[in-house]
Amino acid sequence: MSTPQLSRAFHARPDATAGLHTPQAIEEVRITPTGAALGAVVDGLDANRPLSPALVFALQSALDDHHILIFKQQRLDDDAFLSFSTYFGSVFRRPQDVPVLGSEAQGIPPDVVFVSNVETGGYLGSGELTPHADHQWTPLPSAGSLLYALEVPAIGGDTSWYNLNAAYEALDDATRAQIDGLQLITYNPFVRQIENARIKAEGGEAEYPPYRSPAREPLGAAFPHPLVRTHPRSGKKILFLSTHTEVELLGIAPAEGEALIARLREHIVQPRFRYTHRWSVGDIVHWDNQATLHARTAFPAAERRTLKRVSLAGSRPF
């Protein structure tokens, strides 16, 4: 588990058949929008095979247009999944003092994170996950992630994505003028988890404050980012705000900041900005973490759900 896999992922595979070395052409692939607020389905692509340059550009540009890409019927080992993922960026690394998913055990999260409720060593269990962007509390939030489904439950465990560019575009002019230029801190939910464990050990109730009030100590290191960010590739404006994590706006009176954030969050979670994915085994969903939130419904703990995740490095939000 702790072995970095990237070093292995690109080794030539002498046993591979000739077809596995031939880059696949753009003509072999179809990209079809989901018809929902975001997302496109990619058919005809085999993520085991190299991609032609034109295909890499086409996929990157489809991602910029649709924010998530859904690849069907894949069958990959971890090394092949990592090789495929890194066409779109290098692997996300956290700063040493900022915990993220997968960093508890060895300090460095594995390149391929095991998102599963089944065996020991899996992350995220079977509960609901509220809409969030991964690593938003770090100085350099990841640019995107890919989740690859190996086992899916018969019921529940659906993942939804929200289009934060559409959410921004749908704001009225007065609200846009009010929020352009604001800086937002998103506090680290993994530090909150540690804090809650301490509170519970002392007999208290876990706390999930949506907004930091002046009475509360700031929760660990804080990295402000623009509330309205500009997508580094497409230039689109993004309302970069998760819906439940503790946040704080800089330079705004607390009561006013809290009310504004509550109003923006209510706006973001409207179904018209959402695509919900019902997983099939073999699906890979590649999402742009700079333009979307994602959420998951709970599923029965007795069901098995196993996905693998690769997160890609991002740049400083602006």
- Rounded to a whole number of angstroms, the minimum distance from the CB of residue 295 to ligand OGA is 8
Please give the order of strands across the beta sheet that includes 274-277. 129-132, 292-296, 159-163, 274-277
Residue of 201, 151, 203, 160 lying closest to 308 (CA atoms): 151
Of the two residues 237 and 309, which places its CB atom closer to ligand OGA in the complex?
Answer: 309
Asked if 58 touches ligand OGA (CB under 6 A), the answer is no
Give the per-residue SS3 of 82-135. Answer: HHHHHHHCCECCCCCCCCCCCHHHHCCCCCCEEEECCCCCCEECCCCEEEECCC
From 110, 294, 306, 310, residue interacting with ligand OGA (rule: CB under 6 A): 294
Which token pair is 203?
């007999």
Name which of 148 and 260 has its Cβ closer to ligand OGA: 148
How many residues are given for the chain? 318
* Cβ–Cβ < 8 Å for 162, 293: yes
Place of tokens 């999944």: 81
User: Would you say 39 or 257 has its CB closer to ligand OGA?
Assistant: 39
Helix, strand, coil in percent for the chain, rounding step 5:
25, 25, 50
Q: How far is the CB of 299 from ligand OGA (least distance, A)?
A: 10
Binding letters toward ligand OGA, positions 158-187, x by CB under 6 A: -x----------------------------
CA distance 157 to 300: 9
Does 312 interact with ligand OGA (rule: CB under 6 A)?
no
Residue among 9, 62, 115, 166 that touches ligand OGA (CB under 6 A): 115
Residues 116-135 that bind ligand OGA (CB under 6 A): 124, 129, 134
The yes or no reply on residue 45 touching ligand OGA (CB under 6 A) is no
Q: Which is nearer to ligand OGA, 41 or 58 (CB)?
A: 41
Residues that bind ligand OGA (CB under 6 A): 115, 124, 129, 134, 147, 159, 294, 296, 307, 309
